[in-house]
C-alpha cells in the first residue's frame, strides 16, 4: 500500500472516530437537556399549583366544641367571622365529624361539612383561599356566599349541613351531624 493511501485511510479513520465522538456527545447533551426540561416543568408545575394559595388557612379545628342543647349545637353568631373560618368537630361514636362556619361578604353565616360530596374519601376537606373555600384534594374553589346549599349538580361541593338561626345563634341538629358521619 502506498503512503498516500495509508494517509487517506488514517484521515478517514480519524473522521469516523471524530464523528462517532460527536454523535455520542450530542446524544449525551440531548439526554441532559430532556432531563433539565423535565425538572424545570416539575418546578413550574409545583409553583403554579401553589400560586394563589398564599392565603390558604389550615382546616384543623380552630374553636372549642360549641355547647350542646336538646335542640342541637348552638354557635353564637358573634363568634363567627370571615377570616379564618371556624372549624369544628363533633364526636359520633369515635368518628370526628368535621364542619365549618364562616361569614360571607353578604354578612350571612354559611356552614358546611368539611368534606366534599365527591372527594370525601380522601379526608382532606376545605381551606379558605381569598374569598373562596378550596377543596384541598382537587383544588376546586367555591364562593363562600354560595355555601350552605345542597349539591344539585353533583361533583365536588362542600357537603350540605342544614342549620337554622335562632336569635343570636346558629343551631345545628346533632342528627344532621350523625347522618353524615360515614363521610369521615
- Residues 140-182 have pLDDT tens digits of 888 898 888 887 767 788 899 999 999 999 999 999 999 999 9
Q: Among the listed ranges 32-36, 73-77, 97-101, 122-126, which one has the minimum average pLDDT value?
A: 32-36
Instruction: Give percent of the chain with pLDDT exceeding 70.
Output: 85
Q: What share of the chain is helix, strand, coil (3-state, %, to 5)?
A: 35, 30, 35
pTM, two decimals, is 0.64
pLDDT at 111: 94
pLDDT, greater one: 45 or 14: 14
| Residue 129 buriedness (CB in 10 A; 0-12 / 13-18 / 19+) | middle
pLDDT at 113 exceeding the cut of 60: yes
Query: How far apart (Å, rounded) are the C-alpha atoms in residues 138 and 129?
Result: 14
pLDDT at 77 exceeding the cut of 70: yes
pLDDT at 73 exceeding the cut of 80: yes
pLDDT, greater one: 183 or 71: 183
pLDDT at 124 exceeding the cut of 50: yes
pLDDT at 53 exceeding the cut of 60: no
If pLDDT is split at 50, 70 and 90, which confidence band does 98 have? very high
- Give the mean model confidence (pLDDT) for residues 87-92: 92
Strand order in the sheet with 132-135: 126-129, 132-135, 141-143
Amino acid at each position: 500500500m502506498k503512503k498516500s493511501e495509508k494517509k487517506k485511510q488514517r484521515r478517514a479513520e480519524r473522521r469516523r472516530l471524530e464523528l462517532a465522538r460527536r454523535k455520542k456527545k450530542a446524544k449525551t447533551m440531548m439526554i441532559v437537556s430532556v432531563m433539565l426540561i423535565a425538572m424545570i416543568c416539575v418546578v413550574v408545575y409545583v409553583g403554579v399549583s401553589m400560586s394563589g394559595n398564599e392565603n390558604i388557612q389550615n382546616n384543623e379545628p380552630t374553636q372549642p366544641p360549641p355547647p350542646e342543647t336538646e335542640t342541637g349545637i348552638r354557635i353564637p353568631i358573634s363568634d363567627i367571622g370571615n377570616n379564618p373560618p371556624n372549624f369544628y368537630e363533633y364526636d359520633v361514636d369515635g368518628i370526628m365529624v368535621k364542619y365549618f362556619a364562616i361569614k360571607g361578604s353578604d354578612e350571612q353565616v354559611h356552614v358546611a361539612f368539611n368534606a366534599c360530596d365527591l372527594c370525601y374519601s380522601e379526608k382532606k376537606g376545605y381551606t379558605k383561599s381569598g374569598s373562596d373555600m378550596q377543596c384541598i384534594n382537587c383544588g376546586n374553589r367555591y364562593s363562600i356566599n354560595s355555601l350552605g346549599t345542597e349539591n344539585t349538580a353533583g361533583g365536588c361541593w362542600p357537603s350540605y349541613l342544614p342549620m337554622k338561626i335562632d336569635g343570636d345563634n346558629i343551631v345545628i341538629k346533632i342528627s344532621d351531624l350523625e347522618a353524615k358521619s360515614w363521610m369521615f
